Structure 1
Amino acid sequence: MSVPETQPTVLVLTALPLEYAAIRAHVEKRKELVHPDGTRVEKGQLPGMAWHVALAELGMGAERAAALTAQLINWLHPEAVLFVGVAGSLKDDVGIGDVVVGTQVYEIHGGKQTPEGFLVRPKALPGSHALEQAARSAVRDMPDVRAHFMPIATGDVVLADAESEIAAFIRRSYNDAGAIEMEGSGALQAAHLNGQVNALVIRGISDRADAGKRDADAAGSQELAARQAAAVTVAVLHKHRPRQDSSVPSDSEEGPHRRGDGGATYGGDHVDFRGGTFYGTVIGKQSGPQR
């Protein structure tokens, strides 16, 4: 097994080959790494960015996504995880080719069946605030992308009938969801359970989750949706900096400041320990001649 280098890494996950291809087209200097259990990633660079990107095609399903995402997080230690691909629209105003950024992700199958009916027990995980903010900023400069920031529903079902019982259930129980897909909740759950890993689901709309799905797919809607989602993902990573690259806001442009676990901020001639604790000797700086 190749050992991943120590460098700022973002893990970009897909379920389908066409989703993988759309992201892969943006990544240069790729090399393949193989986990001892056989999971393969391609690791490369996005031009003009500090990020190194690890790409993985995981296959379909939330449980599979959760298990493999956890495996890859523990192996590659990424700072961020993005699940990127296509989805079906659940809203009339979310059209084919639009992109839905998941403010939160619902797992739609949780509940209890009783004689009175199915009682929903909602499970929801929020997307990363930092990544969502980066996405909001990025899409302002993307006139060819119509983006929506709203919840996404995850279920082990391909929805191709808007009048079906499951479609009515989603409208009734998760009525603010803008898209439905099959892996997002698994990936977010894995990121949540593995510590401070920013995670976000970005989906391009390839169909309206109705009887027209087959015709839409045949017309190339999946490829279009995958390209749009990939373009937004790359734009997000242009905005969202690796941790060691983050800077302290100020009225003037300053170089990067680094913040350690103790809360220290380093920059110029000073070390600011406000909000942190320092154990050690402090040596002051003299203003006069030194020897």
Structure 2
Amino acid sequence: MRERIDVLVMTPLPEEMAALVQVLGPPDRKGAEPLATSVWSRVPLAGGPGVVVAFMPADMDQLPAATAVRQMLMYWQPRCFALLGIAASLRDTAALGDVVVAKYVWHYDARRKVAQRSNCVNELYAPIPIAINSNFGISYAQHFLADKDAFVQWQNECLDRGRAIFEDAGASPVPSSAPRLFIDDFATGSAVVDSQAEREAIASLSRKLLALEMESAGVLSSLGDLPVVVIRGLSDAASGKGKDDEPVQVSFRQYAAENAARSLVRLLRVAPLPARRSPERPGRQALLLAGGVAVLVSLSMVLLRQGPFRADHSSPAPSAIPTDAGSAGLPLPTLASIPDTTPSRETPAPSRQPSPPSSPSERATHRDLTRPLAGTTKGDALSKEAATPPVRSAAPGASSVGPTHSATPRTSAVGSTSGVDSCTGDYCPH
């Protein structure tokens, strides 16, 4: 189970981790699994105290950075991610110590073709810029720039700390102007650039390129849709790096790293962090989609078997089937043998009257069913006959298809001792 935290920070170099420790103070705990990590449990954020975890990859460059991010996301579940460190400046308009928040990232050395030309060893072909996968860092930087009081306070803190760094190192000149914050494009590659010609060639890819670093493309490829901010302090001009041991170079690197760390902490206090996103298990959406399709197919098969639904269709009432027909030797009618007499709008419904008896057995059964009980009068028998619903019977072997006769046998019962009935009508059972 991954531990929930608020911010996961990657610092590619030890001096960048040291700058974050300088700003946040000593971490509450340290770890070495899976990578060197430092954990702060109560960092002041916009929504209250939060948990910040910082780690370093095994090495610089795109692939080590991407591998480290994937490993850390298996142990931690952050609300946002920050890539923090130093970078080289590609424009003279930005001074050393300024801070840049990435808008787009150009992976400039992902080339498809290298050609020889006279004035430069390699000819660069403009790559497609990689868009930052969320506006989290950009929008927070814009809010920070709009808050004049907070921004000026950040500038003063950075300038005071920068002077102290240079004085302690005995380096000069000491920074005299406060750092600035830019929102611009980054160039990222796999090589440390220490050439003025290469710097100019990379800067020519786009006039919006301002910083040059080595990890952004790999980090962004491993984050998915996790909100991210890429923030760097400008420490050098991508040339003359053979003098890294000089006090001035060391001081500018420390100054730029701490400026970036202070700006990151300020950005995290601008507004509440994005809501935590519940992780989806691999294939869950595909399984849900497959289950929905299976349910729809099953419902379609059921509907096809039942046929079209008719709201005005009604089955014959069970009371219309005589319960003693089986005892009289007659076959019980089935649904197939009963014609559909459903009323429609076009034709009137036929009258439900029994068919005339056509065989000797039917006539005998009809005579028994219509004979009045002993001790009843003729009026009682007629009243009982009128109150009894008509009975439908089918002749043995007769076809269930065809019109039904509407003639009704009329009987009159006479209460004689001989038991002989007198009948009138078109169909007489005698």
TM bucket, shorter chain: 0.7 to 0.9
Is the partner of 2:112 in helix, strand or coil? strand
Is the partner of 1:239 in helix, strand or coil? coil
Cα offset, 1:29, TM superposition: 5.1
What is the aligned partner in structure 2 of residue 110 from structure 1? 110
Unaligned runs of 5+ in 2: 117-122, 156-178, 280-430
1:10 aligns with 2:39: no
Aligned-partner Cα distance in 1 for 2:256–2:246: 10
* Shift >4 Å, 4+ stretches: 114-118
What is the aligned partner in structure 2 of residue 222 from structure 1? 253
Query: 1:1-291, aligned counterparts within 5 Å?
Result: 5-6=3-4, 8-25=5-22, 26-27=24-25, 30-35=28-33, 38-49=34-45, 50-58=49-57, 59-113=59-113, 119-126=125-132, 128-139=134-145, 140=148, 141-143=150-152, 144=155, 145-162=179-196, 164=197, 166-192=198-224, 196-211=225-240, 214=243, 218-219=247-248, 220-244=251-275
Higher helix proportion? 2
RMSD: 2.7
Would you say how many aligned residue pairs link Structure 1 and Structure 2? 238
Kept in 1: contact 2:86–2:233 (CA 8 A): yes
Equivalent residue letter for 1:172? S
- Identify if the C-alpha distance between structure 1 residues 168 and 33 changes in structure 2 by more than 3 Å, giving closer, same or farther: same
Aligned-partner Cα distance in 2 for 1:243–1:120: 34
Aligned-partner Cα distance in 1 for 2:265–2:246: 24
TM-score, normalised with respect to structure 2 = 0.51
Kept in 1: contact 2:3–2:77 (CA 8 A): no
- Identify if the C-alpha distance between structure 1 residues 191 and 92 changes in structure 2 by more than 3 Å, giving closer, same or farther: same
- Identify if the C-alpha distance between structure 1 residues 172 and 47 changes in structure 2 by more than 3 Å, giving closer, same or farther: closer
TM-score, normalised with respect to structure 1 = 0.73
Equivalent residue letter for 1:113? K
**Greater RCO, 1 or 2 (C-alpha within 8 Å, sep 6+):** 1
Kept in 2: contact 1:63–1:186 (CA 8 A): yes
- Identify if the C-alpha distance between structure 1 residues 11 and 211 changes in structure 2 by more than 3 Å, giving closer, same or farther: same
Aligned-partner Cα distance in 2 for 1:160–1:115: 21
Cα offset, 1:209, TM superposition: 1.6
Aligned-partner Cα distance in 2 for 1:60–1:103: 22
Cα offset, 1:184, TM superposition: 1.6
Cα offset, 1:206, TM superposition: 0.6
- Identify if the C-alpha distance between structure 1 residues 95 and 77 changes in structure 2 by more than 3 Å, giving closer, same or farther: same
- Identify if the C-alpha distance between structure 1 residues 78 and 171 changes in structure 2 by more than 3 Å, giving closer, same or farther: same
Is the partner of 1:178 in helix, strand or coil? strand
Larger Rg computed on CA atoms: 2
Aligned-partner Cα distance in 2 for 1:56–1:199: 15
Cα offset, 1:60, TM superposition: 1.0
| Per-residue CA distance 1:244-277 (angstroms, 9 max, x = gap) | 59xxxxxxxxxxxxx999xxxxxxxxxxxxxxxx
Higher strand proportion? 1
- Identify if the C-alpha distance between structure 1 residues 216 and 209 changes in structure 2 by more than 3 Å, giving closer, same or farther: farther
